[in-house]
A = this chain, B = another copy of it.
Amino acid sequence: MTEKAWGIAVYALLQNNEGKCLFLRRSPDSKTNPGKWEPPGGKLDPGERLDEALKREVFEEAGLQISVRRLLGAIEYEVPAVKVACLIMEGNLVTEDVKLSSEHDSYRWVQPSEMHQLDLATQFRRFFAESQGNVMPE
């Protein structure tokens, strides 16, 4: 049996000055998880640095500039071609006006205690459900 290769992805949990975190809803025509909610983020391009990948994805998907603060945790999931080790990082907002790409059709700022009520993309359910809103302990 051939082993699947492992890729790396990185997603950002971004809190606004009301303490709410940004989630985006995947477009209805997405191949994976259409209509489901997720934080901004995505796969690292080959040779791309972790913080650069996160900043690029957040800017592409939400039009926001951020700085990368710290690691919150990691999850594993599988797509047809690869297994993915996915890092979830806390970012600080440098700009605040969200501008979506065609990948998502809606966004919400959500209290950490209400994250588990979102219809989240499969891979994020356990991380945000288990945390029960306590995703950002220092």
Closest CB in chain B relative to A13 CB, distance in Å: 14
> For the complex formed by this chain, how many copies does it contain in all?
2
Let me know if A5 and B71 touch, CB within 8 A.
no
Known: A73-B74, A85-B89, A89-B85. A6 touches B68 (CB 8 A): yes
> Is A75 an interface residue, CB under 8 A from the partner?
yes
Given the complex, which residues of B lie within 8 Å of A85, measured CB to CB? 50, 71, 87, 89
Chain B nearest CB from A100 CB (Å) reads 26
Cβ–Cβ contact B87 & A51, under 8 A: no
Chain A residue total in the interface (Cβ 8 A): 21
A67 at the interface (CB under 8 A from B): yes
Closest-CB distance, A80 to chain B (whole angstroms): 17
**Given the contacts A47-B47, A74-B73, A85-B87, A8 and B8 also touching, CB distance less than 8 Å:** yes
**Pair A51/B89 contact, Cβ less than 8 Å:** no
Determine whether the beta carbon of B6 is less than 8 Å from that of A50: yes
Interface string of A1-20 (1 = CB under 8 A from B): 00101111000000000000
Q: A7-B50, A71-B76 are in contact. List 11 more A-B contacts (CB 8 A).
A: A5-B49, A5-B51, A6-B50, A6-B51, A6-B68, A71-B75, A73-B73, A74-B87, A85-B87, A85-B89, A87-B87
